[in-house]
Chains A and B, each alone.
Chain A
Amino acid sequence: MAYRVIHYINQFFGGVGGEEMADHKPEVRVGQAGPAMALHAALKGEAEVVATIVCGDNYCVANQKEVAALVATTVKKYKADALVAGPAFNAGRYGMACGTVCAAIGEACGIPTVTAMFPENPGVELYKAGTYIIPAADSARGMGQAIPAMAALLLKLLRKEALQSPEAEGYIERGVRVNMFYEKPGAERAVDMLLLKLAGKPFTTEYKMPVFDRVTPRPGITNMAGATIALVTSGGIVPKGNPDHIAASSARSYGEYDIAGVNDLTDTTYQTAHGGYDQTFANQDADRVLPVDVLRDLEREKKIGKLHHLFYSTVGNGTAVASAKKWGEEIGQKLKEANVQAVILTST
């Protein structure tokens, strides 16, 4: 009997419409729609796509739990053995949707999940630990390559075959450690590795040491009364209305905002864009996250020189470390050019 697969796709690939239909609510279609037809064919009868779920990207990203619950119900209803999502290519919200649905279903239903996206899609960094992601091209031109690769990996997972390394199997490394039995005891492997290292020959470590980015703190400020101090936050404080549309989670940008003449952040002028904590108190008084009021007091009391007229803000909720590092370097450069002596970094 063929394995039963459910395929999750977005409104565009489901034929509902483009960006204007991104709020399309999830619908379940019996059988195959859009890319599910190609997947169904690539599974060559060993598995079949029994239903296709079509959902708007914005709707999914904004209602992740609800969509995941609907997918889980559909998996049970159709007695599905696996879930496939995408390919999302380089569509950021589609990548997020595929990632979140796959990770949630893998955990809730304990079935294999496979998706595909462009390696730089933000969904990769966020969800690679929770699902198998096939690297895809940055646009739908890569459909013909992605679908057979997804089908091949899916069938291996369904057959419960032991997977080789990510390179050998052609999926993006999940960063998940799995135990295995080697041919030789660890002690012999260690001496073998030492001999290769001594001979300057290539060797493969069994565990790549994690890299911690350590920054040496600058010496303390000697003359605070003459110093320009800036505020930078990952707590998501933005002018009311979130003009730069900084995402509530997995931010893809940061904002730069002028606070010249602003002495107090109020509920009518500022808010938080952060979706990872209870926003109530930050929205009541954004100074609780970004203390402009207190720094204005210090300015008046001449305890600091002045508060820099620009502040920088992003959301540190599931945001990839690689993105945070890049923005930190950019912001640091801007502050340096503006002759700022010190920064107060606030989180949540």
Chain B
Amino acid sequence: MKLELHKAPVRSLRFGPQTTLENDVLVINQQELQALLLEDPRLAAVTVDLAHPGESIRIMPVKDAVEPRCKLSGGNEVFPGFIGGVETVGQGATFVLEGATVLTTGRLVAPQEGIVDMSGPGAAYTPFSSTCNIVLGLTPREDVTLHEAEATCRMVGLKAAHYLACRCKAAKAARVEHYAFPPLAEAMAAHPGLPKVAYIYMLQSQGLLHDTWVYGVDAKKTLPTLISPTEIMDGAVISGNCVSACDKNNTYVHQNNPIIKALYARHGKEINFVGVILTNENVTLADKQRSSSYAVKLASMLGVTAAVISEEGFGNPDADLVLNCVKAESAGIKTVLVTDEYAGANGASQSLADSCPEGTAVVTAGNANATIVLPPMAKVLGDPAQADVIAGGFFGSLRADGSMEVELQAILGATNELGFNKIGAYTI
């Protein structure tokens, strides 16, 4: 499979009569976008706001982040099972509005949504302080149930991202990135002498709004499977998660999975990157055992000697991470684990809920319990009162002057376990 990503940079956003890309400025027809999203009968109202890096803006509570993409060629559309049909993606060419992000917000379904500060000390912790954000304020109709509301908001974010890319796809891309994922027979024979490496990609699937979707299928109902990295770039995996904002993988980080990017960067030089194995994080022990065995079996069938394993979430999924590690290492597959930590606000507690001596190589995305004071912002998009109920906030976290004391846990993408950020931790 071959995929070209045609990337057009977006350096600024403004509203205008027609949605288009003009000199790196994404012009948005606000009414057209609103009307499109309100076609969903479950929505009562939609607002569209714009936020740029460096502005005194706080966005909360954020549900999902989506990068605007659409297909140029290769069949089907991005986000298969939601925007596109369920046929295979990851081939041909895809248009990307790089530097723009759709953030879905408003009074949403659960307390566990995130904060994005466009400036100030909190901005350093979220990937979305450096993108130009189209902020959708969503109000589902009152008679819409909780799970329907989540599904509505999830779909609206994808729809808006696809719409923006489609309207601009005639624009010339500033650069084209080429990705190839050859048939297995070729991949196995390629790069003799280089170690074969796989990526075991764990998806949050505990259920009850802790969900991830693969080609429109609920990940908790899947067996571990092989997928081409190019399919991931076309939105084959999307987030339905309402868990702690810091380490849920929002749709944007799936589309731009940095581990896939880092493995491609070494492919053909130091390693032979031969596969991505999707696996889940279900709640029962039997599911954990089955999925970890199956994922490692797929890695063994590929004949890899090493794998990067990334976790999503914390606590219960630590057990899945450890099972994947133990089984891979005992199958002769060297592992590096990517996780984050819950070491308490003082950093003195044990960071993970499960452990194994085989886990000798761990990359950490930092301690999510560390606290930070976020100063007041001139403008708040969304609902600041949510700070008291957001995971990582606590009662009294919203102060009279508009500042907030929260754990990093409350900041969208702060301790992302795909290793999106530079944050880590060390022991003193």
Contact = CB atoms under 8 A, between A and B. Distances in A.
B361 A189 contact: no
A186 B338 CA distance: 8
A187 B363 CA distance: 8
B356 interface: yes
Which range contains the number of B residues in contact with the other chain? 35 or more
Interface stretch (A73-81, A169-177, A235-243): A169-177
A126 to B, nearest CB: 13
Contacts of A208: 362, 427
Interface in A149-183: 163, 165-166, 173-183
B425 A207 contact: yes
Contact of B424 (A175, A195, A206, A212): A206
A193 interface: yes
Contacts of B197: 194, 198
Interface stretch (B33-41, B168-176, B255-263, B378-386): B255-263
Contact of B428 (A130, A163, A187): A163
Of A185, A187, A205, A208, most buried by chain B (CB within 10 Å of CB) is A187
Name A's interface SS. Answer: loop
Given A186-B420, A190-B262, A174 B361 contact: no
Given A206-B425, A209-B357, A185 B266 contact: no
Contact of B355 (A129, A176, A198, A209): A209
Contact of B426 (A165, A188, A191, A197): A165
B418 interface: yes
B262 A129 contact: no
B366 interface: yes
B266 A179 contact: no
Nearest to A130: B348
A116 to B, nearest CB: 16
Interface stretch (B14-22, B106-114, B274-282, B339-347): B339-347
B216 interface: no
Contact of B427 (A174, A189, A194): A174
Interface string B367-384: 100100000000000000
Of A186, A189, A197, most buried by chain B (CB within 10 Å of CB) is A186
A288 B164 CA distance: 72
Given A179-B424, A179-B425, A209-B352, A187 B347 contact: no
Given A194-B308, A198-B334, A206-B362, A177 B419 contact: no
A265 B334 CA distance: 57
Nearest to B197: A194
Interface in B296-330: 305-306, 308, 310
A156 B425 CA distance: 20
Contacts of A186: 258, 338, 363-365, 416-424
A209 B339 CA distance: 11
B118 interface: no
B362 A207 contact: yes
Contact of B364 (A173, A198, A206): A206
A197 B336 contact: yes
A212 B427 contact: no
B343 to A, nearest CB: 4
A184 interface: yes
A176 B346 contact: yes
A194 B426 contact: no
A203 interface: yes
A189 B363 contact: yes
Nearest to B421: A185
A197 B350 CA distance: 25
Given A189-B419, A190-B262, A194-B306, A182 B424 contact: yes
B351 interface: yes
A183 B422 contact: yes
A165 B262 CA distance: 27
B284 interface: no
Interface string B407-422: 0100000001111111
B262 A188 contact: yes
B262 A175 contact: no
10 contacts: A174-B427, A177-B343, A177-B427, A185-B419, A187-B258, A187-B259, A190-B336, A191-B265, A194-B336, A198-B334
Interface of B: 124, 195, 197, 258-259, 261-263, 265-266, 270-271, 305-306, 308, 310, 334, 336, 338-339, 341, 343, 346-348, 350-352, 355-357, 359-367, 370, 408, 416-428
Q: Nearest 8 A-B pairs (CB), nearest first?
A: A186-B419, A187-B419, A187-B258, A177-B347, A177-B343, A191-B262, A209-B359, A176-B347
